[in-house]
Chains A and B, each alone.
Chain A
Amino acid sequence: MNEHAASQEEALGKVILSARNIAKSFGNVHALKAVNFDVHYGQVTTLFGENGAGKSTLMKILSGVIQPSSGEIVLEGEPVRFSSTTEAQRHGISIIHQELSLAPNLSVRDNVFMGREIVGKGGVDYAEESRQTRQLMEELDEPIDPLTPVEDLRLGQQQIVEIARALSVNSRILIMDEPTSALSASEVEVLFRVIRDLKSRGVSLVYISHHLEEALTITDHAVVLRDGRMTAYAARAEIDLEWIVRNMVGENFDLGSPPEGYAMGDAVLSIEGVTVPDASVPGRAVVDDMSLSVRAGEIVCIYGLMGAGRTELLESVAGRGGMVAGRVLLHGEDISRLSIAERIEKGLVLVPEDRQRDGLVQTMSVGENLSLASIGAFTKGLLTSRGRERHVVGDSISNVHIKTDGPAASIGSLSGGNQQKVVIGKMMATHPRVVLLDEPSRGIDIGAKAEVFRLLSEGAAQQGLAVVFSTSEVGECLSIAHRIVVMSRGRIAAEFGADATKEEIMAASGEAVVA
């Protein structure tokens, strides 16, 4: 388990910050068990691990959000203790959380100096703040006017504002938790350029990402956590994707292959010339005259970059509106004018992309969430039947293999993967014929991902479900999909069979292969 200990000594860069035998327990739950972790001067150390492996806990300890139960943090040879984030910041350690902590209504300048305003004789010295902000943004090669409201910036630019804020407190160690999860490919490139620039200025970075391929392009050291232990450590030159996945999961992992050995039915879902206009840019369409037909038992993967129109396409087909032209046919019947509820009734369901925002009702229990879309199935006359509801919920829990204390458990008590299964189980309980899933693997670990894909594949093979799922990870296209549709700028850029290669798919999407 601790074979890394020796290799740490011969690290490439000088070790600036190291965590020694860090353990953290919440009651009798051990989130971290004797973890050693080094941050190297002017280099990127990436922390890999599934959800619940302890990555965030470790980062919270390093940045002073929480304190370790045992073990010590050594900064440049001196043992230190951070009792708060401010104290960690004073030592030059800053963290950029996954959910950005900017005030969207304030300007870039006000955000950079939030809480640390430069106060002169006549109140806040805005001129000086503006000057420093401008300088910071120029250093980061993103010359945004300091007075621009943050809400007017693209997400990628907002992230750079966060970085500027961290730099403005002279951070020498910058921790970034999933910084690319919401960025487009070009924004990721900008971010990576900034990261390389920061490295050359002697800033040490800790990087966390679920996007393994992407993280590999930027990292100098890889550390893998599993179940609160460090399972592997290596420098970039010694590792590849397979090594990371093997160490994360502990076994070779396969997302499955397209189900075979049955005849597909007729076209169940036909999309004809669907057009969705862009709400922010008049005259532009996010979905531009799209047509697609899916057969019963067929699994179609829609691949595309962020902004390619995948979400808008799936949402408009599910009935969330926005469609200005085109038709959606289900079993040959035009359903374009029906409400979401009516489409669900007819057998068309959507599992939305953002399960926190669109999928789950956090105030309700696991069981109530699972039965929300199929209340009619257990309503007799005016009242619902508790017995039948228990039955529906019990079936869902076992069908989609949700690991929970029971139907009364709160949604927040589930892991990300199990939450996703609740959203899928909820829609499956309506006995659909067509299932649309928008990025079903987003933010869930590989184990849960494989299970979700297995469920979809079983549904297609055994119940003749037509499945359409979207993804932005090319590896997922090449798993269970019979057909891969590549979307770019609201149109179908290419279509492939299951035998396509990653390179073909990425090239068709217009994605610049990150060097």
Chain B
Amino acid sequence: MSDVSQDNDNERGKLFGGDFDIKRVLLEGRAFFALIAIIVIFSILSPVYFSTSNFLTMSSHVAIFGLLSLGMLLVILTGGIDLSVGSTLGLAGVFAGFLMQGVSFEILGVVFYPPVWVVVILTCGLGALVGAINGVLIAYFKVPAFVATLGLLYVARGVALLMTDGLTFNNLGGSPELGNTGFDWLGFNRLLGIPVGVLILAAVAIVGILLLARTPFGRWVYSTGGNARAAELSGVPVKRVQVLVYVISGICAAIAGLVLSSQLTSAGPTAGTTYELTAIAGVVIGGAALTGGRGNVRGTLLGAFVIGFLSDGLVIIGVSSYWQTVFTGAVIILAVLLNSIQYSGQKKQKASSDGKTTSPQPEGATGRSPASGSTAGKAGTQS
């Protein structure tokens, strides 16, 4: 008899598909349409908005949030959250600035000036370390992701402040005699007229797309967020996946830190404060579910561009920064609202076709800590 109910489901699927085609396209492509709308509106309001140079400038701002959002996307896909990325960004910038000043080994009586590529590797390593601490706390010590990364948010920021005594490194240029020039190639300079930061974002995005769509790891990420218990029983190394996504998020934050300090030609310990929230907003606007398992790189990039182009547009037309904050918040709420509509639509379809389906409820995502779902799953695997 299973075939009968199956036929019914199919017909129902077609029916919904037929009726809601336009709505569906609008809903699923909402970040894209929102971006188009933002560009059109600001182009009308300001003559300088619609120009290649302005788009490139805005894109180099987007690069920072985009990099954070891409790392955040992986974490959110597993059902976690990473609140520490803003602080990691700041710490990475300060650490890079510190290395650029030269590291003195007092015992040997020498000052070592690492070349920029070494600085990049060490800084990314630091980001990975922060991520690894997050991941191990969450996967192996069962600390809720929200709490663990909140802790690291404070710790990383504190360390950054300690390292500089609250001051900012302004001398990042290096000198040819010391062989450590080229820091400005991490974000400040342009290649073929395109800011290097944007190119880095593009490169990371391509790696992200391949990683999620074409590697076993990508499939593991989606399955861990969709149902960690089922993934584990299917042989997915759930804990390793959890640690790795935080490591990747940490590395992304470190890259963003390098790009930002290169763009600003200075590295301050308070850089990136509250950027973690913008990064989360980008992921959410891009259609990812905070409960995990749904989302993609394309959407997240669009989400980052929506936020970046909106806030820069508001600056250009001279809206006060207080109003900018209000607008950004409204956009985020709208995005989450549309997410709920999209996923609850899917849920209803499911529910009507199979009364016993227990699907993750996206409405709950806003109400409870996103971490709770995954920790419940983890706790369950122990029994």
A sample of 28 inter-chain contacts (CB < 8 A) reads A27-B15, A29-B8, A31-B8, A98-B356, A99-B358, A249-B1, A279-B383, A320-B233, A340-B235, A357-B229, A358-B227, A359-B230, A360-B227, A361-B226, A362-B360, A364-B222, A372-B219, A372-B234, A379-B216, A403-B3, A412-B346, A413-B349, A414-B6, A415-B5, A415-B9, A426-B234, A430-B235, A446-B1
In the complex, what's the smallest C-beta–C-beta distance from A387 to chain B, in angstroms?
Answer: 12
Query: B222 near A368 (CB under 8 angstroms)?
Result: yes
A361-B230 contact given A405-B13, A447-B1, A447-B2, CB 8 Å threshold = yes
Partner of B8, one of A52, A320, A361: A52
Q: Does residue B110 face the partner (Cβ distance < 8 Å to A)? A: no
Is B47 part of the contact surface with A, judged by Cβ < 8 Å? Answer: no
Q: Does B223 contact A (CB under 8 A)?
A: yes
- Contacts known (A363-B293, A413-B350); A356 close to B357, Cβ less than 8 A: yes
- Which residues from chain B contact A415 at a C-beta distance below 8 Å? 2, 5-6, 9, 354
CA distance A26 to B360 in the complex (A): 23
- Residues from 245 to 287 in B contacting A, C-beta threshold 8 Å: none
Among B6, B210, B233, B235, contact of A345 (Cβ-Cβ < 8 Å): B235
B10 contacts the other chain (CB 8 A): yes
Residue in chain A with minimal CB distance to B293: A363
Chain B 347-374, CB within 8 Å of chain A: the 1/0 string?
A: 1011011111111100000000000000
Question: Of B216, B292, B352, B382, which one neighbours A375 at CB under 8 angstroms?
Answer: B216
Asked if A428 is at the interface of the complex by the 8 Å CB criterion, the answer is no
Tell me the minimal C-beta distance from A374 to chain B in angstroms.
9
B205 interface hit (Cβ, 8 Å): no
Contact indicator B15/A364 (Cβ below 8 Å)? no
> A352-B233, A364-B226 given as contacts; is B353 within 8 A of A443 (CB)?
no
Complex interface residues of chain A between 392 and 445 (CB less than 8 A to chain B): 403-405, 409-410, 412-419, 426-427, 430, 443-445
| B28 CB within 8 Å of chain A | no
B365 CB, nearest partner CB in chain A, Å: 13
- A230 and B296 alpha carbons, distance in the complex (Å): 47
Bitwise interface map of A from 370 to 381 toward B, beta carbon under 8 Å scored 1, else 0: 011101100100
Q: Which residues of B contact A288 (CB under 8 A)?
A: none
Given contacts A383-B215, A415-B6, A415-B354, whether A29 and B12 have CB atoms under 8 Å apart is yes
Does any Cβ of B come within 8 Å of A105's Cβ?
no
> If A26-B12, A362-B359, A405-B13 touch, does A413 touch B353 (CB 8 Å cutoff)?
yes
Whether the Cβ atoms of B381 and A363 lie closer than 8 Å is no
Chain A residues with CB under 8 Å of B346's CB are 410, 412
Q: Report how far A28 CA is from B349 CA in the complex, Å.
A: 14
Known: A405-B10, A410-B346. A361 touches B231 (CB 8 A): yes
Instruction: Check: B4 CB closer than 8 A to any chain A CB.
Output: yes
Question: Is A318 on the interface with B (CB-CB < 8 A)?
Answer: yes
Measured between alpha carbons, how far is A319 from B346 in the docked complex, in Å?
Answer: 34
For the complex, give the distance between the alpha carbons of A235 and B223 in Å.
49
What are the interface flags for B192-230 relative to A under an 8 Å C-beta threshold, 1 for contact and 0 otherwise? 000000000000000000100011100110110111011
- B227: chain A residues at CB < 8 Å are 357-358, 360-363
A129 within 8 A of B: no
User: Would you give the shortest CB distance from A310 to chain B, in whole angstroms?
Assistant: 15
Q: Do B350 and A361 touch across chains, with their CB atoms under 8 A apart?
A: no
Q: Does B298 reach chain A (CB closer than 8 Å)?
A: no
**Interface size (A, Cβ < 8 Å)?**
68
A57 to chain B, nearest CB (A): 8
- The smallest beta-carbon distance between A487 and chain B, in angstroms, is 19
Q: Across the two chains, which residue of chain A brings its CB closest to B224?
A: A361
In chain A between 443 and 462, which residues have their CB closer than 8 angstroms to a CB of chain B?
A: 443-448
Residue picked from B230, B360, B381, most chain A C-beta under 10 Å: B230
Q: Whole-angstrom distance between the alpha carbons of A404 and B289 in the complex?
A: 26
**A376 contact set on B, CB distance < 8 A:** 216
Interface status of B182 (Cβ within 8 A of chain A): no
**Residue contact A372 to B357, C-beta cutoff 8 Å:** no
Take A363-B222, A403-B3 as given contacts and tell me if A412 and B235 are in contact as well, using a CB distance cutoff of 8 Å.
no
Question: B residues 42-93 with Cβ under 8 Å of A?
Answer: none
Q: How far is the CB of B106 from chain A (nearest CB, A)?
A: 44
Contacts of B210 in A (CB 8 A): 383
Most chain B beta-carbon neighbours within 10 Å: one of A363, A375, A445: A363
Q: Assuming A279-B383, A362-B357, A415-B6, is B219 touching A384 (CB within 8 A)?
A: yes
- Cβ–Cβ contact A412 & B350, under 8 A: yes
Contacts of B358 in A (CB 8 A): 99, 356-357, 362
**A363-B294, A383-B210 given as contacts; is B354 within 8 A of A412 (CB)?**
yes
Shortest distance between the CB of B205 and any CB in chain A (Å): 17
Tell me the B153-180 residues at the A interface (CB within 8 Å): none
Q: Which residues of A contact B347 (CB under 8 A)?
A: 412
Q: Is A56's CB under 8 angstroms from B222's CB?
A: no
B contact residues around A379 at 8 Å (CB): 215-216
Complex formed: what's the CA distance from A341 to B347 in Å?
31
Tell me how far the C-beta of A348 lies from the nearest C-beta in chain B, rounded to whole angstroms.
Answer: 11
A364 B216 Cβ-Cβ under 8 A: no
Q: Could you say which residues of chain A place their CB within 8 Å of the CB of B13?
A: 405, 409, 413
Q: Is the CB of B115 closer than 8 A to any CB of chain A?
A: no
B235 touches A341 (CB 8 A): yes
> Is A382 an interface residue, CB under 8 A from the partner?
yes
Q: Tell me which residues across on chain A come within 8 A of B349, comparing CB atoms.
A: 412-413
State A52–B3 Cα separation when bound (angstroms). 9
Contact in complex: B233, A340 (CB < 8 Å):
yes
CB closest chain-B residue, reference A177: B355
Q: Which residue of A lies closest to B77 (CB)?
A: A363
| Complex Cα gap A367–B309 (Å) | 37
Which A residues are CB-close (under 8 A) to B222? Answer: 361, 363-364, 368
A28 near B11: Cβ-Cβ < 8 Å? yes
B125 within 8 Å of A (CB atoms): no
Tell whether, in the assembled complex, residue B2 and residue A418 are in contact, meaning their CB atoms are under 8 Å apart.
Answer: yes
Question: A318 CA to B9 CA in the complex, in Å?
Answer: 34
Instruction: Please give the distance in Å from A358's CB to the nearest CB on chain B.
Output: 5
Proximity bits, B16-28, A CB within 8 Å = 1, else 0: 0000000000000
